[in-house]
Structure 1
Amino acid sequence: MISNEPLQPDDRVSTGLSGLDEVLDGLRIGDNVVWRVSDLDDYRRFVLPFVDAASDAGRQIIYLRFGDHAPIIRDHPSVRTITIDALGGFESFTSRVWHLIEQHGRGAFYVCDSLSELLNAWATDAMVGNFFRVVCPFLFELDTVAWFALHPERHSRMTLDRIRQTTQVMIDVHRHGDDVQIHPIKAWRRQSPTMFLPHREHDGQFQPITDSSDATRLQASLELEHLHRQPLLDYWDRLFQEASRALSDQDTDCIDDLQEQVLQVMISRDSRILELARRYLSLEDLLGIRSRLVGSGYIGGKATGMLIARNILLKDATEPWQSQLEPHDSSYLGTDAYYAFLVHNGLWPAIMRQRSGEGYLSEAPALRAAILAGKFPHEIQAELERLLDHYGQYPILVRSSSLQEDGFGNAFAGKYDSVFLVNQGAPEQRLSALEDAIRQVYASSMSEDALVYRKQRGLDQREEPMALLIQRVNGRFHGRYYLPDAAGVGVSRNTFAWDSSMDPEAGMVRLVMGLGTRAVDRIEGDHACVMALDHPMRQPFRNQDESYRYSQHLVDLLDLQDGKLDTRPLSQLLETTNDLPMDHLAEVDRAASTRAEQIGLQGPVWRLTFRPLVQRTPFISRLSHLLQTLEAGYRHPVDVEFTLHLDQQGNPAFNLVQCRPLATIGETGPVALPGDLPERKLLFRTQGHFMGGNINLAIERVIRVDASVYAGLSTSQRYDVARRVGEAVRASGVPTLLIGPGRWGTSSPDLGVPVRFADIAGVAALVEVSEKAGEMVPDLSYGSHFFQDLVETGIAYAALFPDIQHCRYHPERLPGAPTPTSTESAVNRAVQVHDLQAQHLQLTGDVVRQQLVCYFTD
């Protein structure tokens, strides 16, 4: 920003007052001028001569109007007034100002309202300084001159110091009756023996106070005047100081008002979330959140959902959740810390490029890399050190909690990163690992999946700052390993009931041993235990062998020795760890145990069926009550993540780590299944194994992955198939049915097609088929992030098991697939595209009868 080239004559700009020009040696092109005043009239009296002089010089003059105070400039013929709403938040306001500066180009002059007015909109004083650190260098770069005012007593010293460091000119104005004095504090690249002395105004001239006795008296009078004023506290801190006072004094008139103020600046802007928060987060609760907050600003959707859900249980439940719910031990990194990080690392120009239509996706990789290389402001680092002191060496989880996340209709499930930290080693090492984790979560906001998700929902131009939820990982130390006894995802509405006797309102759970990552992600080679809460022992398997085969065999845990999240086979884990609660979670497979003994292997073979937990403990009744209570509090179905801590008898205590409104496909009204459907018109039919309630979709294209071809492909070719499918979906433009073997979205190509959700987000319906070729089996993965995406985007889902009695599937009846040539690649042969211009498909599902049929209409 700063150049050492000699000044040219045309660099000079007049303040409009010859005496002030003499004091400052004039202004320079590129100057940002900050006036620190106690009364805005003292700013106005200097602004008007400046505007007149700029008008006489033929300058373009822009007045940025954003304050609640009376206008600084009224009806000046040479001034264009642009009103900007600051209530939309730091990012939208700063972006608007940035684009205005960009639009008006080089050489424009600006007059701005008092920066202190931004506190009324943002509450957080630090963001005023960050705004100035963003726009001041940009104004300088475009050869502008811009004037700002602020009330110094309303800002913290940190903010005042940052503004001073960034601006080129800063002037204090003091008034005693009719006596006005100015005191230049900074004038970049200018110097004189008396420039930085106080100056008294007399007949338009400014005389330096050169007598030290006069200067001392002036300073003493100023200190006396400010003696009884509030000390320089951050606006944010003053708000919470007042909240503490109101609670201490039981000032009921103030408590409700302060609760609302804090909710608006720390919890959410969403009206539905705010309505929930008013009912369940008291002012005392909000002060407790503040005590665990690093920085300032919003705590984000994920943190808010977790806290509201806990209070719903503690306040509304008929059961004593105080004893059944583990105390939370979470900390929060506010959204202002995210913006401070971006500003501190000079990334705002990159943010503006990425926010543009043409740069939305193309600029993201470079911005992501810059975030990963960024440094933290010193004040944030110091607070992170104190946070780590609190957690000691317990493992912690750093989770995204963006402003829009986990709200009504926008869960962002799996779009942003969460990072487990084993939190071992020296304090410096643990701090470095925490900073890396925070950078990783920040950078994940620039992932293609997240950006496409936002664009599809019309959120790409909405403010989406990243807050963080930092949680102590619930669990136990088992030698070198650390893991919870069990974890799961619970949903209060079972829209994936695979049996007609199941009540969708009873809810559902997806349960695993160890870390809950296996409950929310579709991970290769393994299966979580899926239970309908009204029939927890009824499984979608034909026999016990199949139940064992499709149970959990791998356990996610933290390896303290290797310092990372890892996966271990249960059998291997049991060889080295003898204090796992297997009696409460698993059953012995007697046949497998006998075979193991015959070949010299020790110990029983355990199968994670969770039957002991279901049959011997109140787990199901407690989870059902938890989900029903939360649904009643939210007045909407919910989706929760939790861990379990088992006592010696196996009784579970719940640690609620996440709660959000459940996204569901709305009912389309009564659905009429075709009565006398000729067999030749049937593509597939199934009883159960579909999701989304009532379905009535007209299909014009089918994209199908041929399992017989796919089974013979190499791993790299299978990833090529995933890319080819994504290309076909994006090129479709009509209602499309996607059919493939095994699991869509799996991370293992051996189990299905490893597409990203962003690649297939435009389809109308998704079908997973159990195929003998390659033994690829659908995963009943309700609660997984991939599945949650299907629910939120209204994509119908079905799992087909052609070998079972109530399922029929005839892919050979699909018309219009191009005849493969001998030279065509195996990848192209695997992906078959069927355009159905003359013979449309109808997909119809009846949630009450649990019947789904897909048939040709012509």
Structure 2
Amino acid sequence: MISREPPQPADRISTGLTGLDEVLDGLRIGDNVVWRVSDLEDYRRFVLPFLDAAADSGRQIIYLRFGEHPPIIERHPAVRTIEIDALGGFESFTSRVWHLIEQHGRGAFYVCDSLSELLNAWATDAMVGNFFRVVCPFLFELDTVAWFALHPDRHSRMTLDRIRETTQVMIDVDRHGDEVQIHPIKAWRRQSPTMFLPHREHNGQFQPITDSSDATRLQASLELEHLQRQPLLDYWDRLFQEAGRALSEQDEGCIADLQEQVLQVLISRDPQILELARRYLSLEDLLGIRGRLVGSGYIGGKATGMLIARNILLKDAPRLWQQYLEPHDSRYLGTDVYYAFLVHNGLWPAIMRQRSETGYLSEAPALRDDILCGHFPDEIRTELERLLDHYGQYPILVRSSSLQEDGFGNAFAGKYASVFLVNQGAPEQRLAALENAIREVYASSMNEDALRYRKQRRLDQREEPMALLIQRVNGRFRGRYYLPDAAGVGVSRNTFAWDSTMDPKAGMVRMVMGLGTRAVDRIEGDHACVMALDQPTRQPFRNQEESYRYSQHLVDLLDIQDGTLDTLPLSQLLANTTDLPMTHLAEVDRSATTRAEQIGMKGPVWRLTFRPLVQQGAFISRLSRLLQTLEAGYRHPVDVEFTLHLDEQGDPAFNLVQCRPLATVGETGPVNIPEQVPEERILFRTEGHFMGGNINLAIHRVIRVDAPVYAELSTNQRYEVARLVGEQVRSTSTPTLLIGPGRWGTSSPELGVPVRFSDIAGIAALVEVSENAGAMVPDLSYGSHFFQDLVETGIAYAALFPETGYCRYYPDHLQQTPPPAAQTPSPSTAVQVHDLGHRPLQLRGDIVRQQLLCYFPD
């Protein structure tokens, strides 16, 4: 029987075993004790005496139960058992443990299940090491004593080394039949001539093996046992090793089971995404993804959507897309790299403060700054160097691919950063630029817009680790510039049909020349080409001159010489580049060319209308087929981003860079719009230029920005208007209609009101008005990130052009009292709030007839 330890001095904590205390010189307050065992019974037999000693000294003892193995502690009157689910992921589990430690405060003692059990929940033991590196210092800080166990053969050397580096005490336990020996590996700030020798247990005492011959024989027998066991591979590596074996041997019985296991740890936890992935990502595909992965963990929603979409096309329409879909060579940074970065830089306490209710927004700016100053673990930097070796000096794009991104109902469109890298210079420069880009994307998870977006969708307490998708920028070197021939956003459902003859099911595309940034973002002072795929040549313009005026005049590209993402006027790009595919993308403006020649300018004046691409080739038919095939595969409307590569004849090949479920405004059924409404009861009436399908809303509040007043304000005052609008929107949950001049959400106050979407997310409907005061014209920005936000949030949209014959707009009908006398223009006078009380407006839209009416009913 093992003897009990007598009471210890106040500065010592007993292990409960006299002999063990003698070996270790006792435990210290703050010690984390890690037992490396091959059999949990050997951990248990040391735990029980420790519990009795701690109970005798009046300590609060907590047993953290998270393993699938039998309980370490069955019943003990002094122990409180707390069960924690590890299956929710690293962040939720670590946060739960953190808060428990915080809650129980100083001086509590802890006994934990085997850390190796976390591999069953997380797959990668890098995260086991990161968990320990988070909680161990916190436990030490709070003067606790905590015991852990692990099976060393189930972990990588890197994880074992990091746990050893972090803990205060580490002990190996080995058993030979009935003989038990312990070998202290680490005892922080303790030393004796024999402390770190192997010790045999005998009659409750632990005798050091002081004979070198005995020690050599003992060590040889232990090494032989280890050779007969599995090599030091964690669950993650063994899983992919087994997957490779099953494929090479065509073991059909194992392939399906292994595919499911890999999907659960590499692709997603979302049931809808997993169902899609089961159909289109084979085990061979998954092994290919693993071969391109930096680190471990999930590849995130954006990467998953891109890969699934490509496989849908190649599987469901192979004859077309094997020829016209360009291959990809994307790389991925797994979600574990994001967590490793946070832990490596000591940011977990800051993460916990930010995750709290009070710190959710207030702590984010400081955390964002800390992320931007962070450093990467050496093993990650080495993998990033190899990644850059693969791409050489081709430009690359570093894109967010968070766990929730691009899912069903949560696109996160434009919420997180994407960073273009020209990728020029010495390898050291290119690595530094890549690290900066990764930090920038990581830091964007703390952007206020992203945080409010998550809060509005009740995702703020769900795990949202940031994976990254790294892609070669599709394009060509053209002198000092690099750009694709064209890029676009395609949607399989056109809920912005501006003509009753258009079929919403035919889809729509938003096209630009150059980088696709101008296709997904609202273009300030410029326009993308928007086409309904069933009537691509039918534009919402009255004449050719208007068509040219609202075409694209600026091109986004990469400047190789300056190493920057840049925007150039088309005329300037043409003057410096000779081989652009203008005959396939643009038309010559003959009258403008004549005027240019008269003042001595050379060359034709081109207008990017994309008519040659539409009329002379297979672009529309291929894009339509692409969208239809993806919608059928997803069993849901889709939104895609792509680039085009044109051959000499203008025949397009597609590079699919993103695909996600399209957020669609719910159908409301048939809507009755009254024909005879007296003019004095109408706020506005228009044909077309509205979005959201059929609309039937009661509006109890109108917030309107007065265009003439707004036009008189300075730039700073216009930003103040945006702030006031946000305040008014957040002040009530009443169904609200927001009306303003030009473009809501613009970053250029001369074009509209520069609100952030998070400021106005609570409204029911948004109206942009073409006003005579300034150049404030609505932008038909279907496919842009701002549009995505409107659709996801279920906000109806309309663009009013009062100068046309098909639109009537009477803002004075909102005044229930005579307007006040003329006042000095100010932000407060520009923002007019109308609470309609018991006389709400009715907003009705009929998508079939393309009629929209906002009126006061009888």
Bin of the TM-score, shorter chain as denominator length: over 0.9
- Is 1:725 aligned with 2:725? yes
Structure 1 residue 710: Cα displacement:
1.5
Structure 1 residue 820: Cα displacement:
5.1
Relative to structure 1, the CA distance from residue 391 to residue 206 in structure 2 (aligned partners, 3 Å threshold; closer, same or farther) is same
- For 1:4, the equivalent position in structure 2 comes to none
Distance 1:829 1:600 in 2: 49
Kindly provide the CA deviation profile for residues 298-351 of structure 1, in whole angstroms up to 9, marking residues without a partner as x: 000000000000000000016420110000110000000000000000000000
Distance 2:25 2:422 in 1: 59
Structure 1 residue 662: Cα displacement:
0.2
Distance 2:129 2:166 in 1: 9
Structure 1 residue 839: Cα displacement:
2.2
Residues 639-648 or 698-707, more deviating:
698-707
Structure 1 residue 523: Cα displacement:
2.1
Structure 1 residue 685: Cα displacement:
0.8
- For 1:112, the equivalent position in structure 2 comes to 112
- For 2:3, the equivalent position in structure 1 comes to none
Q: Which amino acid aligns with 2:795?
A: I
TM-score, with length taken from structure 1? 0.98
Distance 1:570 1:124 in 2: 50
Q: How does 1:361-372 map to 2 (within 5 A)?
A: 361-372=361-372
Structure 1 residue 824: Cα displacement:
5.4
Relative to structure 1, the CA distance from residue 554 to residue 679 in structure 2 (aligned partners, 3 Å threshold; closer, same or farther) is same
Distance 2:198 2:609 in 1: 81
- For 2:377, the equivalent position in structure 1 comes to 377
Give the count of matched residue pairs.
Answer: 851
- Is 1:528 aligned with 2:533? no
Distance 1:61 1:807 in 2: 73
- For 1:83, the equivalent position in structure 2 comes to 83
* C-alpha contact 1:523 1:747 (8 A) present in aligned 2: no
SS of corresponding position for 1:71:
coil
Kindly provide the CA deviation profile for residues 222-275 of structure 1, in whole angstroms up to 9, marking residues without a partner as x: 111122211112321111111100000000011001100000000000000000
Distance 1:819 1:148 in 2: 74
Distance 1:339 1:818 in 2: 60
- For 2:576, the equivalent position in structure 1 comes to 576
TM-score, with length taken from structure 2? 0.98
- For 1:697, the equivalent position in structure 2 comes to 697
Q: Which amino acid aligns with 1:748?
A: S
Residues 834-843 or 497-506, more deviating:
834-843
Distance 1:543 1:329 in 2: 44
Structure 1 residue 819: Cα displacement:
5.2
Relative to structure 1, the CA distance from residue 730 to residue 816 in structure 2 (aligned partners, 3 Å threshold; closer, same or farther) is farther
Distance 1:154 1:494 in 2: 53
Distance 2:260 2:284 in 1: 12
- For 2:677, the equivalent position in structure 1 comes to 677
Distance 2:659 2:394 in 1: 23
- For 1:122, the equivalent position in structure 2 comes to 122
Structure 1 residue 621: Cα displacement:
0.2
* C-alpha contact 2:770 2:800 (8 A) present in aligned 1: yes
- Is 1:248 aligned with 2:248? yes
SS of corresponding position for 1:445:
helix
* C-alpha contact 2:24 2:190 (8 A) present in aligned 1: yes
* C-alpha contact 2:120 2:235 (8 A) present in aligned 1: no
- For 2:606, the equivalent position in structure 1 comes to 606
Distance 1:833 1:121 in 2: 53
* C-alpha contact 2:36 2:151 (8 A) present in aligned 1: yes
SS of corresponding position for 2:405:
coil
- For 1:663, the equivalent position in structure 2 comes to 663
- For 2:4, the equivalent position in structure 1 comes to none
Structure 1 residue 86: Cα displacement:
0.3
SS of corresponding position for 2:751:
coil
Structure 1 residue 28: Cα displacement:
0.4
* C-alpha contact 1:684 1:810 (8 A) present in aligned 2: yes
Distance 2:69 2:806 in 1: 72
Structure 1 residue 733: Cα displacement:
2.6
- For 2:500, the equivalent position in structure 1 comes to 500
Kindly provide the CA deviation profile for residues 95-126 of structure 1, in whole angstroms up to 9, marking residues without a partner as x: 00000000100000000000000000000110
* C-alpha contact 1:698 1:842 (8 A) present in aligned 2: yes
Residues 370-379 or 704-713, more deviating:
704-713
Structure 1 residue 848: Cα displacement:
1.6
- For 1:199, the equivalent position in structure 2 comes to 199
SS of corresponding position for 2:54:
helix
Q: RMSD of the alignment, in Å?
A: 1.1
Relative to structure 1, the CA distance from residue 817 to residue 276 in structure 2 (aligned partners, 3 Å threshold; closer, same or farther) is farther
* C-alpha contact 1:489 1:511 (8 A) present in aligned 2: yes
- Is 1:328 aligned with 2:298? no
- For 1:66, the equivalent position in structure 2 comes to 66
Relative to structure 1, the CA distance from residue 205 to residue 852 in structure 2 (aligned partners, 3 Å threshold; closer, same or farther) is same
- For 2:538, the equivalent position in structure 1 comes to 538
Relative to structure 1, the CA distance from residue 485 to residue 757 in structure 2 (aligned partners, 3 Å threshold; closer, same or farther) is same
Distance 1:650 1:779 in 2: 29
Distance 1:517 1:69 in 2: 52
- Structure 1 spans left out of the alignment, 5+ residues: 1-7
Structure 1 residue 669: Cα displacement:
2.0
Distance 1:234 1:398 in 2: 29
- Structure 2 spans left out of the alignment, 5+ residues: 1-7
Q: How does 1:330-369 map to 2 (within 5 A)?
A: 330-369=330-369
Distance 1:530 1:825 in 2: 37
Relative to structure 1, the CA distance from residue 375 to residue 448 in structure 2 (aligned partners, 3 Å threshold; closer, same or farther) is same
Structure 1 residue 831: Cα displacement:
1.2
Distance 2:393 2:204 in 1: 66
Residue identity over aligned pairs, in percent, reads 85
Kindly provide the CA deviation profile for residues 828-857 of structure 1, in whole angstroms up to 9, marking residues without a partner as x: 121111111132111111112111100012
Structure 1 residue 712: Cα displacement:
2.0
* C-alpha contact 1:154 1:232 (8 A) present in aligned 2: yes
Kindly provide the CA deviation profile for residues 56-101 of structure 1, in whole angstroms up to 9, marking residues without a partner as x: 1110000000000000001111100000000000000000000000
- For 1:221, the equivalent position in structure 2 comes to 221
Distance 2:648 2:129 in 1: 55
- Is 1:278 aligned with 2:268? no
Structure 1 residue 753: Cα displacement:
1.0
- Is 1:595 aligned with 2:600? no
Distance 2:411 2:795 in 1: 15
- For 1:171, the equivalent position in structure 2 comes to 171
* C-alpha contact 2:842 2:856 (8 A) present in aligned 1: yes
Distance 2:361 2:583 in 1: 51
Q: Which amino acid aligns with 1:754?
A: P
Structure 1 residue 818: Cα displacement:
9.1
Structure 1 residue 825: Cα displacement:
4.9
Distance 2:715 2:582 in 1: 36
